């Protein structure tokens, strides 16, 4: 980080849920915000130093992992997650002023958003066709700007995007899963780790050795034997061949926790590669439950005992 005021990138344009996540990140209040057209572009801007950190979506409670983010973090120059934000996802159906629902024949939105409102559409606008756009905010922008013959009559977007573009809200909260939440992470260049809070997460990518049979079971045992819980596991193709996977994993705990450190040493030994993507405070804030057999004190006592055995 420079001594200048930090600059924040995000997967834009303005009016996306990602910007809402950045707005919810307190240290970014009042700082310069730079939208990027893709997750890759936002992360590349971090790597290049154009911004100091970037907010990107990583996981959605309905759609699952965001592949573009998982893959962009798993390859290329090293980056670290330094924080996470959870944003409730509430979609609206928005149209130009004066356009009623009855006149909607096509609907524009991002494919992830479309997947989350499909039930509502089938019930209320069964004949509407779908027009993909680059983001939900782009759908709203396109509708506002697209001249006399827009490609679609309504957009599915965040309420703020509808407001930004002077659109009229035809229906609110149209997501098929009312409690839908998207998880965003703030990504920075490697540097000082966020401090331990006792309610932390660590994000890893594990690459298996090709010549290794046990596979995922063996990797999970490295966590289990140290009493570490996983909060997310996703397999991602390594792009080498069909059936060759790596695993994107979130665990409960901080790399400075003894149990996490020992598990990382174990994984580093048995994996082809381990990519450490950061330790940071969990958004839920609930302290990780640690058994007395896996606490730092337990490790310290056991190590002291071992030193005594070894050196008399």
User: Which listed residue (27, 49, 76, 132) binds its own copies by CB under 8 A?
Assistant: 132
16 touches its own copies (CB under 8 A): no
Residue 180 backbone phi and psi in degrees, to 5: -60, 140
Distance CA 254, CA 263 (A): 11
77 touches its own copies (CB under 8 A): no
Is residue 130 within a helix (H) or strand (E), and if so which, with residue range? strand 129-132
The smaller minimum CB distance to its own copies, of residues 159 and 261, is found at 261
Q: At its nearest, how many Å lie between its own copies and the CB of residue 119?
A: 11
Residue 239 backbone phi and psi in degrees, to 5: 75, 5
Q: Tokens representing 234?
A: 């996703």
> In this chain, which stretch among 5-13, 27-35, 95-103, 174-182 interacts with its own copies, using CB under 8 A?
174-182
Q: What is the full DSSP assignment across 171-187?
A: EE---SSTT-EEEEEEE
Residues 6+ apart with CB under 8 A from 138: 13, 110
Q: At its nearest, how many Å lie between its own copies and the CB of residue 258?
A: 9
105 touches its own copies (CB under 8 A): no
The smaller minimum CB distance to its own copies, of residues 169 and 293, is found at 293
The smaller minimum CB distance to its own copies, of residues 55 and 204, is found at 204
DSSP conformational letter for 167: -
Q: At its nearest, how many Å lie between its own copies and the CB of residue 6?
A: 18
3 state DSSP class of 253: coil
Q: What is the full DSSP assignment across 26-46?
A: GGGTTSEEEEESSHHHHHHHH
Q: Which of residues 216-245 bind its own copies (CB under 8 A)?
A: 216-217, 220-222, 224-226, 229-237, 239-245
The smaller minimum CB distance to its own copies, of residues 163 and 220, is found at 220
Place of tokens 């959605």: 60
Q: At its nearest, how many Å lie between its own copies and the CB of residue 271?
A: 9
User: Which listed residue (49, 76, 166, 190) binds its own copies by CB under 8 A?
Assistant: 190
User: Which listed residue (98, 126, 191, 285) binds its own copies by CB under 8 A?
Assistant: 191
The smaller minimum CB distance to its own copies, of residues 22 and 274, is found at 274
Residues 6+ apart with CB under 8 A from 95: 101, 103, 104, 143, 153, 154, 155, 167, 168, 170
Q: At its nearest, how many Å lie between its own copies and the CB of residue 177?
A: 5
40 touches its own copies (CB under 8 A): yes
86 touches its own copies (CB under 8 A): yes
């Amino acid at each position: 980080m420079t001594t200048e005021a930090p600059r924040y990138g995000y997967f834009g344009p303005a009016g996306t849920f990602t910007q809402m996540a950045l707005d919810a990140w307190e240290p970014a209040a009042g700082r310069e915000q730079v939208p990027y057209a893709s997750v890759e572009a936002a992360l590349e801007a971090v790597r290049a130093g154009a911004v100091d950190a970037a907010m990107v979506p990583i996981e959605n409670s309905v759609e699952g992992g965001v592949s573009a983010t998982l893959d962009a973090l798993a390859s290329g120059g090293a980056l670290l997650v330094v924080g996470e934000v959870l944003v409730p996802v509430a979609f609206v159906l928005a149209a130009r002023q004066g356009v009623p629902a009855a006149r909607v024949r096509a609907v524009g939105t991002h494919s992830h958003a479309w997947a989350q409102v499909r039930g509502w559409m089938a019930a209320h606008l069964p004949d509407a066709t779908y027009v993909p756009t680059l983001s939900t905010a782009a759908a709203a922008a396109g509708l506002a700007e697209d001249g006399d013959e827009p490609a679609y009559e309504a957009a599915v977007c965040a309420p703020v995007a509808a407001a930004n573009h002077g659109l009229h809200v035809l229906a609110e909260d149209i997501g098929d899963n009312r409690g839908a939440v998207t998880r965003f992470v703030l990504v920075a260049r490697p540097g000082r780790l966020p401090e331990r809070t006792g309610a932390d997460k660590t994000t890893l990518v594990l690459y298996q050795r090709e010549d290794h049979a046990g596979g995922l079971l063996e990797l999970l045992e490295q966590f289990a034997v140290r009493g570490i819980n996983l909060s997310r596991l996703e397999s991602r193709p390594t792009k080498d061949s069909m059936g060759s996977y790596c695993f994107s994993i979130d665990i409960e705990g901080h790399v400075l926790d003894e149990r996490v450190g020992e598990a990382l040493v174990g994984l580093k030994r048995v994996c082809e590669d381990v990519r450490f993507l950061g330790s940071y405070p969990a958004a839920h804030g609930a302290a990780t439950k640690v058994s007395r057999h896996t606490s730092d004190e337990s490790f310290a006592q056991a190590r002291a005992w071992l030193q005594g055995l070894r050196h008399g």
